Amino acid sequence: MEERGVAANGEDQSTSSENGGCQSQDDVGTSGMRMTATLSPFASICRGSFSAIEDLLKKYESCLIEDHVMSSLNLLVEGKMAGRYGLDFLNLVGCPAFCESRIPGSVRHPNITPILGFLKTPGYGYLLHPKAPYSMEGILHYSPKALESEWHARFLIYQIVSALHHIHSQGIAHGSICPSNVMLTDSSWVWLSIVDMHTMRNNLSSKVSTRSSLKTYCCMEDCPCQAIYADLKLSACIDWHSDFKRWWTGELSNYEYLLVLNRLAGRRWGDHAFHTVMPWVTDFTVKPDESSDIGWRELKKSKWRLAKGDEQLDFTYSTSEIPHHVSDECLSELAVCSYKARRLPLRILRSAVRSVYEPNEYPSNMQRLYQWTPDECIPEFYSDSRIFFSLHSGMSDLAVPSWAKSPEEFILLHRDALESERVSKNLHHWIDITFGYKLSGQASIEAKNVMLPASDPLIPKSMGRRQLFTKPHPMRQAVTSRYYKSKESSSSCIYGSSQTLPKEHSISENGWFESLEAATLFCEHAGYLNPIYRYDNLPSLKLAKNYKLEKDTLAQPGSDIPIPYMDLGNLIDYLDVDDSGPTGFQELLRWKHRSSSLGISSEMLADDIFSIGCLLAEFYLKKPLFDPLSIAAYKENGVLPGLLEELPPHVALLVEQCIQKDWARRPSAKCLLESQYFPPSVRSAYLFLAPLQLIAKPESRIQYAAKIANKGGLKVMGAFTAEMCAPYCLSLIMSSSSDVEAESALFLLKELLRCLSSRAIIALILPTIQKILQVLEYSHLKVSLLQDSFIRDLWNRLGKQIYLEKMHPLVISNLIRSPDKISTSAASVALIGSCEELGFPISVHQTILPLIYSFGKECCADAVEALVRIGGLLGGNFIIKHLLPLLRNVVLSCMDISHVSKPEPVQSWNSLALIGSLSTLDGLLSFLPSQVVVKELIQDQAFLHVNLLMQAHLDLVVTKVAANSLIVLCQRIGQDLTASFVLPQLKDLFDELAFSQRSVSAPNSIGRNLKLARSKLDEDACIENRIDLVVLLYPRLAALIGIEKLRQSCFTWLILEQMLERRYSWKWNAAGESSRGSFEIMDSPKLSLSKYHPSEYNSAKLLLNGVGWSIPQSQGVRCSRNLINSKQGSEPRHMGTSSFANYEAWHWFTGPASTPDASDFLGRTGGQKDELTWKIKASVIHSARAHPGVLRSVAICHDECTIYTGGVGPGFKGSVQKWELSRMNCISGYYGHDEVVNAVCVLSVSGRVASCDGTIHVWNGQTGKLIAAYSEASTNFLHTARLNSEPNNMLTPNTLSGGILSNAFNGSLYTCMHHIDFDEKLVAGMGNGSIRFIDVVRDQKLHLWKSDPAESSFSSLISAICSCGSENHYAGAIHSSPWMAVGLSSGHCRLLDARSGSIIANWRAHDSYITKLAAPEDHLLVSSSFDKTLQVWDLRRNLGTQSNVFRGHLDGISSFSIWGQDVISVSRNKIGLTSLSGLTAEGGQHRLLPQTLYSADRGTKNLSLLSTVSVLPYSRLFLVGTEDGYLKVCC
């Protein structure tokens, strides 16, 4: 019996128990219990009951089962007395230095399935163990690509062999090693199942009765529904060959044979997501009648095809990005739950079908059910009448067709239809579609049965479509008789006797033998369905002869065992990966010779080694090595299976050694572990990871990993081994919850950052960090990651570009959306600290604008605080040139929107944006001198505060904030400036208030999002209408500048003061004080303002609810000192004017607010996936002369602060200039080229730069020293010239004569260059059409791909190169490996396999010279040419007939640059903007509009010819180079 238990949480803690058979009640599996105690020492022995199972599950969930072992290991790492458990465990996993005083059976091997308990029941024994989510069999069937990594295959095999070595060391033979018994956890860690060991089963069931073995696997006597569990009678090892013959000859029913196929395909009865499937055979309109064609389902077509129709499937196939007909399983979870809706709990229906339970939506009868679903049937409709009866009061029973009197009769008639001759003659067609050859290839296209492939084939899966047959399934030659139902039998059980009908006379004898021969060949071809993993198919059930285990030998907890001395250095030494030792094929041959001489001690143990050889071969072949025919040939004649020839040589050698006929010559498990097949990295990774798989508390496990890393464990492993271990560590890091776990997780993350390569960090570490930061709830680990020190570590390790793309948006999100103050403070400090490093343009676009945009989303005080601090850090000029214009534009835009009738959400957004902008202005005032405040905010044509107060239609909350903000501004500039500049502009407002009627009130349209702001303001005073502005402004201005000055400026002062006295009891006395001592309000309509001092009453503090500009405890950045100093001094710090202002950092940057349409930039974060097209203004912000001649290439560093330009230098030689973008000045250069530099690349290795002028120079970007030069044989350069000192012409250019490209392309010069980022390789195109690869890390030229000699001419030189943008190439493209594209001067384009160099495609892309290629995505290629066109190619389609062509330029396109979906191209003196978002699958003509560049300051038209363009993506700028040597910064 197989039963599955679910843990208390209902999730991943499910367990399964395996029945070992029937014994006498007094002696149930005594030796089996001893064996269990040996292999799983913590297993409990108890009487079988629900409470016992519940206790075992709770113990398992507590993760305390092996916590004592983990604690011992932690003490051991700390150098303390650790106890014996840690030492024994290290011995198990391969540390012989710790083998002293080892006690057998004290700890479990980490690769053996943990047995939670041995449950004893009358007559039966059960082993309870955790259920692993995957098995090796399932992965080989459903996700074989998950095992394509050679290293991971070896690592998995190593774990299996290590577990087997432990079992063998106890004198026990496993006896049943096969893929189904190799389990994998969520982290892909191996558990070797011991439940199905032949020795275990024998010791649990030595007295199994004949009756028990013959009954079905149902524990109830005379069960009325044994038919439901019919597939459970099938043996775990199905003999498909025998079952097929019995079905083909009519001895096995269709129903039973389909159950066999379902079991082979991995389908499980009761698993709603992967349920056993059966065909519909009738549409239920009429009673099934073999003499009539009406009502029968067509089995040659899938149910999906019958439901959808051929026309719809053809349309889906032709228009889908990945061509397919079927997008779902042949039997989905939705369909299964809908079929069984009347028997399933409502919680399952709500989860799988629809969250809102509506019983009337479920089909009410069989005919409607058949018409409703595109899915196939389930066995219950052929075997269980209970499926028709509803358990839910609101859902009626499922009605049977009118031709059946009852559900029981329907089941009988339906089953008869399945077993009918008509169905039997056509069932093989349905098998071909569901399990057979029509699942793939041309046959699937013709049958309209192409499945949508898995989204990620590298992820392990436990279910999916398995294609059992690759040849057409034979038609059945005989049918079984009807299944007669005995009146005495239960109404649900319909098994009756079956008889084979005689052969039909219409089949001739020759035809019969032809069919028999075809069926025999089909069986031979499908022999892989009967895999053989043992040399002896009927293994002995005896224990190995050296197995001796007595109960009293088991160590009991607390035994007094002497503890040996242990040195931690031994453990670290074993982690060290030494790759200097021999690991080649010759070493494997020597190992083979040694292993043959050592041999193995027992035939039963040798049978396990045979199984290991078969398993190893299947890892690589993806199919079994032996079937019944091949094993028979091997046993009788010694003929090895032909599949061995398909294995790699080193694997074939190991497999042959394991499967030798002479069992004594097979290697032992220990000998296998020592073979050179397993590299040192496998052993090191295993030793590090094995303790992390113990069933112990996560806190203990992550502490152990952090301690090993602290001792240098990850470092000695090496980068590759650490990368292989990283996924296991990251799963622990993700589950860290407590503060102690978080500290260990943070340390482990930092160590991984130090040890892993940049590529591994981006692929593994960054996604984990992103997931942690995406969680809104507080966590100690999230706050630690937001700290400035960690972000800087990540920044320095990966560069600014990766930080901006992967991390920066999440930091902003935590500042804006995190509900806890600790996280927002940490994020604020991180943002503020990053701005100084990022520079003005990036800070504006990537930090300032997103924070300003957040004003409208919610009342975000933290964003206001961060903006103010950033302004204080970057100085007064930054505030004046960037922050104030942006805030001004936001306020003006919101004022414009407020005049238009908009829905409530828009008005709420508008009001919140105004409050945030005013609050930010209040904070920034303290950093600006009074005269600047007057000039920028008051003398401006639009005095924002007064204009807002004049808007009668604004929300009262906004009006109050504007009034308070105006008072703050007046206090900042002082009484004299207030009287001179502010009071004259308030005249109209005071006049309006003086003559207004109290009944006229302003609108109050505060929406849901403004409730927070309203609640904050209500704590102070609530204004009911606009007339209440009098009390907010007049008394405070009087106190600030004096009542006389105020009365002189306000002609209506008498009316206003009378109003204040009458309504608010306010009166100014002769002493200059209010008559009521501040203006306390006596009744509810009046405002209470006395408790606020004017200096404290500002909108920023209202918004912050008293928090003010508090400094977070974690602050450690420089930004705080500006703010603190500004509060301490009477005059704020600000950036003064200087005679050197032109050389200040970013003096040329005007910012997005300098143009009228700056509001378009609001909310744009500059990411790669912007939905809106980048609006280029075609404006030149700054220009500098970079070269005396043409500027050919511009290379931008990842930080967007340093750029390199290549072109003509002094004396018409080539030169490269290094520019500091912040000041737009040249800081150094490289002058070692003799010809014009046509390409420059910034390498990610130690700040190196590569430049090309026909030869390639690699030099240090900091010092300018040449590192290496590369050229081909015909030039005067050495193969690789190493120079340790500067050449004479470096940094001190000589005025030597020379023309541009004085050496003509003779075929051996490098014409272009491309850097492959992830592989650290340079690819150089040559004049003869060849391609040279250069390894810049190892400083050596690699392979040379030569072109067709017939094309070796000047007209076919390589003019452009690009490669796919990432290592993970597009799986659905026409290529199966990373690709590279090369453009030729003839206009042709070639697509090459980046690994082999073979040509995948070759087509005429343009009519002229190809100037540039780029790959924005792994399936897209963009090309430009002198033929005036820009073309985009979809590599998944026919390249010769499709492309998206962009026209509009009047001259040839010299270059283009891509960021996200935007493409900027240059032609002559014009630029053009193109978007890739509007591409069509069929291709077509598109129009681009060229634009002329104009100077931003004087509007002067650019007349220079443009030669190159590069985008500064995060700065939202682009650079152009000109033919006359100018470098221009544009927006």
For residue 863, the surrounding DSSP H or E stretch is helix 861-874
Instruction: Give the start-end residues of each E strand in 1061-1210.
Output: 1179-1185, 1191-1196, 1202-1208
Is residue 1066 a contact partner of residue 1059, using CB atoms and an 8 Å limit? no
Query: At a CB cut-off of 8 Å and minimum separation 6, what does 724 contact?
Result: 151, 152, 155, 681, 685
- The greatest distance separating any two alpha carbons of the chain, rounded to the nearest whole angstrom, comes to 131
SS3 835: helix
Bridge partners, residue 1390, by sequence: 1382, 1402
pLDDT of res. 993:
84
How many CB atoms within 10 Å of residue 1506? Answer: 23
Helices 254-264 and 421-434: angle between axes, nearest 10 degrees: 10
Among the residue ranges 373-387, 402-416, 1137-1151, 1238-1252, the one predicted with the least confidence is 1137-1151
Tens of pLDDT, residue by residue over 1367-1423, are 444 333 333 468 889 999 999 999 888 877 788 888 899 999 999 999 988 888 999
Residue 296 pLDDT exceeds 80: yes
Nearest-angstrom CA–CA distance, 72 and 1056:
82
The length of the chain, given as a count of residues: 1531
Nearest-angstrom CA–CA distance, 513 and 531:
27
Query: At a CB cut-off of 8 Å and minimum separation 6, what does 140 contact?
Result: 147, 179, 618, 622
Phi first, then psi, for residue 912 (nearest 5°) are: -65, -40
Q: For residue 225, what pLDDT band results from cuts at 50, 70 and 90?
A: very low
Token pair recorded at residue 405: 């009197």
Residue type, 115: I
SS3 1230: strand
Residue 833 pLDDT exceeds 60: yes
Query: 213 vs 1364, which has greater pLDDT?
Result: 1364
pLDDT of res. 986:
87
**CA triplet 825, 830, 831: central angle to 5 degrees?**
100
For the chain, how far is it from start to end, CA to CA, in angstroms?
A: 73
Query: 1188 vs 1435, which has greater pLDDT?
Result: 1188
Q: Mean pLDDT, to the nearest integer, of 1489-1500?
A: 78
Smallest CA-to-CA distance from 687 within 678, 677, 695, 676 is with 678
Q: For residue 200, what pLDDT band results from cuts at 50, 70 and 90?
A: low
Burial grade of 636 (CB within 10 A; 0-12, 13-18, 19 or more): exposed
Q: Mean pLDDT, to the nearest integer, of 938-960?
A: 84
pLDDT of res. 480:
61
Smallest CA-to-CA distance from 389 within 429, 343, 424 is with 343
Residue 1282: CA count within 13 A, CB half-sphere: 5
Measured CA distances, 1013 to 294, 858, 986, 1023, 1106 (Å): 72, 9, 26, 14, 13
Handedness of CA 690, 691, 697, 702 (dihedral sign): negative
Residue 853 pLDDT exceeds 80: yes
Q: For residue 583, what pLDDT band results from cuts at 50, 70 and 90?
A: low
Tens of pLDDT, residue by residue over 91-116, are 888 776 555 444 556 788 999 998 88
pLDDT of res. 1303:
46
SS3 258: helix
Q: For residue 486, what pLDDT band results from cuts at 50, 70 and 90?
A: very low
Report how many helices (DSSP H) and strands (DSSP E) the chain contains, helices first.
54, 38
% helix / strand / coil in the chain, to the nearest 5? 45, 15, 45
Query: 1296 vs 1025, which has greater pLDDT?
Result: 1025
Nearest-angstrom CA–CA distance, 639 and 1455:
64
Residue 580 pLDDT exceeds 80: no
Nearest-angstrom CA–CA distance, 1509 and 853:
30
Is residue 1233 a contact partner of residue 1256, using CB atoms and an 8 Å limit? no
Residue 1252 pLDDT exceeds 90: yes
pLDDT of res. 1276:
39
Among the residue ranges 453-462, 813-822, 1323-1332, 1439-1448, the one predicted with the least confidence is 453-462
Query: At a CB cut-off of 8 Å and minimum separation 6, what does 459 contact?
Result: 143, 146
Query: How do 190-192 and 1399-1404 pair as beta strands?
Result: unpaired
1215 Rama class: left (phi>0) / alpha (psi -120 to 50) / beta: beta
SS3 1393: strand
Mean pLDDT of the chain: 77
Phi first, then psi, for residue 267 (nearest 5°) are: -75, 145
Residue 1115 pLDDT exceeds 50: no
How many CB atoms within 10 Å of residue 694? Answer: 23
pLDDT of res. 504:
45
Residue type, 628: P
Burial grade of 872 (CB within 10 A; 0-12, 13-18, 19 or more): buried
pLDDT of res. 30:
64
How many CB atoms within 10 Å of residue 590? Answer: 11
pLDDT of res. 1370:
36
Nearest-angstrom CA–CA distance, 10 and 115:
20
pLDDT of res. 270:
75
Q: Mean pLDDT, to the nearest integer, of 1031-1057?
A: 87
Q: Mean pLDDT, to the nearest integer, of 627-639?
A: 88
Smallest CA-to-CA distance from 60 within 135, 9, 111 is with 9
Nearest-angstrom CA–CA distance, 1518 and 1528:
8
pLDDT of res. 1011:
42
Smallest CA-to-CA distance from 194 within 67, 4, 38 is with 38
Q: For residue 1236, what pLDDT band results from cuts at 50, 70 and 90?
A: very high
Query: At a CB cut-off of 8 Å and minimum separation 6, what does 1412 contact?
Result: 1360, 1383, 1423, 1424, 1453, 1455, 1456
Query: 239 vs 1365, which has greater pLDDT?
Result: 239
SS3 1007: coil
Is residue 747 a contact partner of residue 727, using CB atoms and an 8 Å limit? no
Q: For residue 1072, what pLDDT band results from cuts at 50, 70 and 90?
A: low
Is residue 1374 a contact partner of residue 1405, using CB atoms and an 8 Å limit? no
Strand 1399-1404's sheet: what is its strand order? Answer: 1358-1363, 1379-1384, 1388-1393, 1399-1404
- Location of structure tokens 């389908």: 267
Q: Mean pLDDT, to the nearest integer, of 242-265?
A: 90
Residue 1508 pLDDT exceeds 90: yes
Tens of pLDDT, residue by residue over 1117-1171, are 333 333 333 333 333 333 333 333 345 778 788 777 644 343 443 333 333 334 3
Residue 1256 pLDDT exceeds 90: yes
Smallest CA-to-CA distance from 375 within 501, 493, 275 is with 275
187 Rama class: left (phi>0) / alpha (psi -120 to 50) / beta: alpha
Measured CA distances, 1285 to 1216, 1243, 1264, 1281 (Å): 18, 21, 10, 12
Is residue 124 a contact partner of residue 703, using CB atoms and an 8 Å limit? no
* Percentage, residues of the chain above pLDDT 90: 22
Is residue 43 a contact partner of residue 36, using CB atoms and an 8 Å limit? yes
Residue 55: CA count within 13 A, CB half-sphere: 13
Query: At a CB cut-off of 8 Å and minimum separation 6, what does 933 contact?
Result: 925, 969, 972, 973
Residue 1466 pLDDT exceeds 90: yes
Is residue 820 a contact partner of residue 779, using CB atoms and an 8 Å limit? no
Token pair recorded at residue 1279: 């193969």
pLDDT of res. 1029:
84
Residue type, 985: Q
Q: Which DSSP string corresponds to 99-140?
A: -TT--TTSS--TTBPPP-EEEEETTEEEEEEEPPSEEHHHHH
Residue 169 pLDDT exceeds 60: yes
What pTM did the predictor assign? 0.80
H helices of 680-820, in order, are 680-689, 698-710, 713-717, 719-734, 739-755, 758-760, 766-774, 780-786, 788-798, 800-802, 808-817
Smallest CA-to-CA distance from 190 within 226, 233, 231, 160 is with 160
Nearest-angstrom CA–CA distance, 1098 and 1016:
12
Query: How do 1484-1487 and 1490-1492 pair as beta strands?
Result: unpaired
Query: How do 117-121 and 44-47 pair as beta strands?
Result: parallel
pLDDT of res. 1287:
37
pLDDT of res. 1365:
58
